[in-house]
């Protein structure tokens, strides 16, 4: 009986977190779609462009890992992006089974435009996070989500998010100063 | 310039949370699919059955709200479930535009079977949550996720999750004692 009770508690816990997680992701997904709609990109395509730019050399399997997408999903959407001239898909010289994804100038330009067009209208999350800050004295840090994601996807995954964060900030600030110059 | 910098920070914050949220949801989605695979149900169908059981009278729009699904998604999957004899879709006597969703005995039975078949194998989340507990002295509470979801979907949504939690526990424990009797 105790084991059965345990199982019920486990399921209830997971079910609760599932509902919260689904609701959060669906909101983010909607805002993200809204943001990139003018560029005729879907979330997967945009995410692929973002990840490629953040890596020195991006392989399909790396993009799959950091983007939480199936390898076949990455491959199919990368093919679309290739057709539109946003990236190239060269094979590795050393191992023909490895395909690299490389941003073209056109791809980098469309990505830059999505960043520049970013507005408050499609960012409910940030607004709410600052309300949270007013009450709790700090921005939400999603410590528990980060812990769980780190345990499942590995510290590599978390490190990529953190490094990409800093590197993207630098890139965007540099871009802005060039525009000012 | 300050405004542009603000916008960059907002985007970076949201992008980080997006990646964590996507990774968490994709894990939960995979585990959920794995769990209900033997019953030839998809997550939307299972979620619809769960929500209907938790409400006294479920309308399509309520299931849409609590399940974070489009009304048309609920309608289409409910039609599938109706064909399989798991629910009926009577129109309201008072307002013909309102469609109720009612579990049949067969629907309740398949739902009960999914609950009973729940095992550790498809629950990475709980395992990791207990590891977290060992370090942090409490289970992860997802306070920030809950706050954000509450702000977007309303306190109704959070109350439904909490009430459903208690009511589902009671239902499952009662079921078990009947099985024992």
Mean pLDDT across chain A, nearest whole number? 92
CA triplet B32, B34, B36: central angle to 5 degrees? 70
Q: Which residues of A touch B31 (CB under 8 A)?
A: 14
SS (H, E, C) A10-69: HHHHHHHHHHHHHHHHHHHHHHHHHHHHHHCCCHHHHHHHHHHHHCCCEEHHHHHHHHCC
Burial class of residue A46 (count of CB atoms within 10 Å of its CB; 0-12, 13-18, 19+): buried
Cβ proximity of A83 and A69 under 8 Å:
no
Each residue's pLDDT tens digit, B70-86: 999 999 999 999 999 99
pLDDT band for position A121 (50/70/90)?
A: confident
* Chain A residue with Cα closest to B144: A140
pLDDT of residue B96: 83
Query: Which residue in A125, A37, A113 sits closest to B15, CA to CA?
Result: A125
pLDDT of residue A15: 94
Q: What's the token pair of residue A81? A: 């992006």
Q: Does A176 touch chain B (CB under 8 A)?
A: yes
Closest Cβ–Cβ partner in A68, A128, A165 for B152: A128
ipTM of the complex: 0.93
A57 Ramachandran zone, left/alpha/beta (phi>0; psi -120 to 50): beta
> Which of A65-79, A164-178, B59-73 is predicted with the least confidence, judged by mean pLDDT?
A164-178
Query: What value does the mean pLDDT take over residues A45-72?
Result: 95
Query: What value does the mean pLDDT take over residues A115-124?
Result: 83
pLDDT of residue A2: 61
Q: Please give the Cα distance from B141 to A144 (Å, whole number).
A: 7
Q: Does B28 touch chain A (CB under 8 A)?
A: yes
Q: Please give the Cα distance from A136 to A122 (Å, whole number).
A: 24
Give how far A58 is from chain B: nearest CA, Å: 18
pLDDT of residue A179: 65
Give whole-number Cα distances, A135 to A34, A146, B23, in Å: 29, 22, 28
Give how far B123 is from chain A: nearest CA, Å: 8
Query: What value does the mean pLDDT take over residues A21-44?
Result: 95
Contact A17 B132 (CB under 8 A): no
Query: Which residue in A148, A37, A113, A50 sits closest to B12, CA to CA?
Result: A50
Is the predicted pLDDT of residue A4 greater than 90, yes or no? no
Interface probe, candidates B16, B22, B168, chain A, greatest A C-beta count within 10 A: B22
pLDDT of residue A155: 94
pLDDT band for position A95 (50/70/90)?
A: confident
pLDDT band for position B56 (50/70/90)?
A: confident
Residues 156-175 of B with CB under 8 A from A: 157, 161, 165, 168-169, 172-173
Q: Please give the Cα distance from A34 to A121 (Å, whole number).
A: 9
> Which of A103-107, A176-180, B31-35 is predicted with the least confidence, judged by mean pLDDT?
A176-180
Q: Which residues of A touch B24 (CB under 8 A)?
A: 21, 25, 145, 148-149
Q: Which residues of A touch B19 (CB under 8 A)?
A: 68, 161
pLDDT of residue A3: 80
Share of chain A above pLDDT 90, in %: 75
Give how far A65 is from chain B: nearest CA, Å: 10
Q: Which residues of A touch B130 (CB under 8 A)?
A: none
Residue A13: count other Cβ atoms within 10 Å of its Cβ.
18
Is the predicted pLDDT of residue A115 greater than 80, yes or no? yes
Query: What value does the mean pLDDT take over residues A95-114?
Result: 94
pLDDT of residue B28: 94
Q: What's the token pair of residue B181? A: 């009797």
Q: Which residue blocks in B37-104 are alpha helix, DSSP H?
A: 43-54, 60-67, 71-83
Burial readout B31-55 (b: 16 or more C-beta within 10 A, e: otherwise):
bbeebbeeeebebbbbbbbbbbbbb
Q: Please give the Cα distance from A160 to A69 (Å, whole number).
A: 15
Each residue's pLDDT tens digit, B13-52: 999 999 999 999 999 999 999 999 999 999 999 999 999 9
Cβ proximity of A148 and B140 under 8 Å:
yes
Q: Which residues of A touch B68 (CB under 8 A)?
A: 19, 22-23, 26
Give whole-number Cα distances, B104 to A116, A138, B38, B84, B121, in Å: 53, 48, 20, 10, 29
pLDDT band for position A93 (50/70/90)?
A: confident
Give how far B149 is from chain A: nearest CA, Å: 6
Is the predicted pLDDT of residue B147 greater than 70, yes or no? yes
Q: What's the token pair of residue B111? A: 């739902």
Beta bridge partners of B91: B99
Q: Does A31 touch chain B (CB under 8 A)?
A: yes
């Amino acid at each position: 009986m105790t084991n059965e009770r345990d199982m019920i508690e486990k399921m209830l816990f997971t079910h609760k977190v599932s509902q919260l997680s689904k609701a959060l992701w669906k909101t983010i997904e909607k805002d993200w779609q809204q943001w990139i709609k003018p560029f005729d990109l879907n979330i997967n395509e945009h995410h692929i462009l973002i990840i490629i730019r953040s890596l020195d050399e991006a392989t399909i399997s790396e993009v799959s890992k950091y983007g939480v997408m199936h390898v076949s999903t990455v491959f199919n959407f990368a093919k679309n992006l290739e057709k539109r001239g946003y990236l190239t898909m060269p094979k590795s010289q050393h191992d023909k089974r490895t395909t690299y994804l490389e941003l073209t100038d056109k791809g980098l330009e469309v990505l830059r435009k999505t960043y520049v067009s970013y507005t408050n209208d499609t960012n409910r999350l940030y607004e709410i996070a600052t309300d949270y800050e007013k009450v709790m004295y700090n921005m939400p840090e999603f410590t528990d989500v980060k812990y769980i994601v780190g345990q499942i996807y590995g510290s590599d995954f978390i490190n990529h998010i953190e490094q990409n964060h800093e590197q993207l900030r630098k890139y965007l600030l540099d871009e802005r100063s060039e525009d000012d110059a």
